[in-house]
Structure 1
Amino acid sequence: MMAGPRTSSPPPAVATPQTQTVPTETVPAKGTSGVMSGGTTPPTVVTAATADPSTSQTVTDFIEAVDNVPEASDSDADSTMGDEHSSFTASITSSIVKYRTLNGRTYHSDSIGDHYWGSNDQAQNNLLDIGHHVLTLLLDGKLYGPPLKEPIERVLDLGTGTGSWAIDFADAHPEAEIIGTDISPIQPTWVPPNVKLCYFSMIDDFNKPWLFPENHFDFIHIRWVPGTVHDWKWLFEQAYRTLKPGGWLESLDNDGFFRSDDGTMSETTATYDWKRIAIEGAKNMGLKPSICTVLDDLTRPAIDAAGFVNISETSYKVPYSEWPKDPKLKEIGLYCRAMLETDTEGMIGRLANAVGFTPEQTTIYSALVRKEMRSLNVHAYYCAKQVYGQKPEA
């Protein structure tokens, strides 16, 4: 599973703020596809309010692309394309590490159920580590958004993945105890001495009843888990119960598919079809309620309904390659493309299998996506949303 959020710093604005409604999109029928085509209004970007953290401001943020950009460097990765290219913790049982295998890739154990669509092998783990760096750049080096009160005693990282965020947090807060949970035991077996309080001992599913006591944590963090949460309101209610009064919850999630505002991602591009594959594949796998966490606005209403106050919401457009003119977004795009190229098949493989792709078709499709990202002529991005709220003081 994926990792977690931090301080909300909106990306550079290039348009005058104005109130706008996020458009409703219809999922294309199988065999068709579509992301922001036909003149559809681009998604909004919500910036965190500066005066009142419980409010938010909506703005349109169009990312300007560079002119006459040479194609990004190729790699040899795509041979199919020729030259392109305690009582709270659970021990690891034998059933947990009996991974399922699909087309040569490993996924979490059957004993967990079908909660997550991504692989859990080394290629995917490398992708997750690069993804952590992408979000670090996006959030200007901050690991979280809310104003946490010192001293920080206990922190819970849900869906910790490789543990990159938890280790960085523990490094910055050596006085804190960090517990990272995940359905796959892919975390490191050692940590540096200054992060010795960082534990990865609970291999657990956050969709099941939590065993943590009430009023236990100072901060609960969840990141990058599209399509894995069965009931966002229930999840946030569990977080509310286990947080101390005055504690904070933060969620940073994405939709995991491509969008474009300027028509460069047309029906003839492979990136255009990613959304259909992701949505139909998730549906066929039985993932619910939706893999489109941002598009379907799943987190903000749920955190509000769970009883949190002082809610802040920030949305971002994250470029998938280095096509933007803005230097910060260009760097983010460079690492985002590196992330995608590291394991395209691991991101889309199981979802593609669920819509009927053969292994060969998945390989070819993944190579086409990588080729489009390297060309820098497809101005694709994904939407991410950071939401955090506070449990009221006692």
Structure 2
Amino acid sequence: MSGSSAVSDMTNGKLASPSRYLLPSDKPESERLNLQNRVLKKAFGNVVFAPFTFSSDDAVLDVGAGTACWTLDCHDAFRTAHYYGIDITSDLFPILDVDLKSRIHLTEGNILRLQGEWADRSYTLVNQRLLIAALSAENWKTAINNIYKVLAPGGWVQFVETNHCRSGDVTDRHHVILRHTFEKRGLLFECAEKIPALLHDAGFVEINSMIYEINLGSWAGQDGIEARDTFIGVYKAMKYPVVDVMGIMSSPDFDSLIEQMQKEWDSTPGSKIVFHVLYARKSASP
């Protein structure tokens, strides 16, 4: 849903390079990620959730940066800090002007491997958003431990994740298929619920968790339409691994299910997608 995480099932750049990652790395995905960012920013009302005050010496890391939309928003709000974004592919990175390049540094990198110039720095804030479609349970443990290593004492990490929508019977049926897809792919479907324990085990303190709900469907006006288009787009983009790689269902059945779910969201007031926002601090003292 955001950025990507490690041998492609497709050879022409359609599926972002990891063997597990379920989403593509192409122009439609770039457009969807930017729309998703607008939807989330409007729903959350903020881009930084930790009680963090920026200074000119701060270095901020965005893991799975994708189109760098979060990094750019954060930079617009807090221009004094220096920003670093990593992703395993640079396919979605935007072209930055000279001024932005002096403060925003985008590079290929993988949070599962502390390699490269980005890994030699110390950060006061690390952001990781919507990598549910990229990381296994063991990957999550490694990622959080590595984030702890690159954080400065007293620094903060924040995560945004989701794993379910609430609407009607069609959405429930899709949820079962989605869970099966993730499990068959070796991904941690319930990562949002597991992150607090992983943060604790890694040594983080002041662990906080919040839940946000975003309305889905035309019943909720333009905001609901944009949210619907964003997340229907996510599920449509998973067609290749679901149908062609894993053979979980046929192409016509997949298309029909997504179409029915979109109609259900539009016609069912109260349809929502649930997000978990989590943040924690690295202790200032050993």
Q: Do they superpose with TM above 0.5?
A: yes
Q: Give the TM-score range, shorter chain.
A: 0.7 to 0.9
Cα–Cα, structure 1 residues 108 and 345, in superposed 2: closer, same or farther, change >3 Å?
A: same
Unmatched runs of 5 consecutive residues or more in structure 2: none
2:174 corresponds to 1:274: yes
Q: TM-score, normalised by structure 1?
A: 0.63
Matched, 1:392 2:255: no
| Cα separation, 1, equivalents of 2:75 and 2:124 | 14
Between 1 and 2, higher relative CO (CA 8 Å, sep ≥ 6) is seen in 1
In the alignment, is residue 240 of structure 1 matched against residue 240 of structure 2? no
CA contact (8 A) 1:126 1:342 kept: no
Counterpart of 2:194, as a letter, is L
Percent of matched pairs sharing the same residue: 18
Q: 2:214 aligns with which of 312, 318, 331?
A: 318
Whole-angstrom CA distance in 2 between matches of 1:205 and 1:388: 21
Q: CA–CA distance in 1 between the matches of 2:80 and 2:141?
A: 31
1:198 alignment partner AA: I
Which of 14, 25, 38 lines up with 1:120 in the alignment? 25
Larger Rg: 1
Cα RMSD, aligned residues only: 2.7
- Distance in 1, Cα, partners of 2:229 & 2:248: 27
What letter corresponds to residue 228 of structure 2 in structure 1?
R
Greater Cα shift, 162-171 or 342-351: 342-351
> Judging changes above 3 Å, is the alpha-carbon distance between structure 1 residues 258 and 189 closer, same or farther for their aligned structure 2 residues?
closer
Instruction: Rate the CA distance shift 1:182–1:332 in 2: closer, same or farther, 3 A.
Output: same
The number of residues matched between the two structures is: 277
Which residue identity lines up with residue 282 of structure 2 in the other structure?
A: K
Q: Larger % of helix: which?
A: 2
Amino acid at match of 1:245: P
Instruction: Give distance in 1, aligned partners of 2:212 and 2:79.
Output: 30
TM-score (norm 2): 0.85
Are the structure 2 counterparts of residues 105 and 190 from structure 1 closer, same or farther at C-alpha, using a change threshold of 3 Å?
closer
Q: CA deviation at 1:178?
A: 1.5
Does residue 101 (structure 1) correspond to residue 7 (structure 2)? The answer is no
Structure 1 unaligned segments of length 5 or more: list them: 4-95, 325-329
Q: Which residue of 189, 211, 231 maps to 1:340?
A: 231
Q: For 1:365 and 1:157, locate their aligned partners in 2 and report how far apart those are by CA, in whole Å.
A: 34
* Structure 1 residues 108 and 188, CA gap change in structure 2 (3 angstroms): closer
Does 2:211 correspond to 1:303?
A: no
Task: Give the CA deviation at 1:348.
Answer: 4.7
Output the amino acid matched with 2:212: Y
In structure 2, what residue type is equivalent to 1:276?
A: V
- Is the 8 Å Cα contact of residues 26 and 92 (structure 2) preserved in structure 1? no
1:291 aligns with 2:200: no
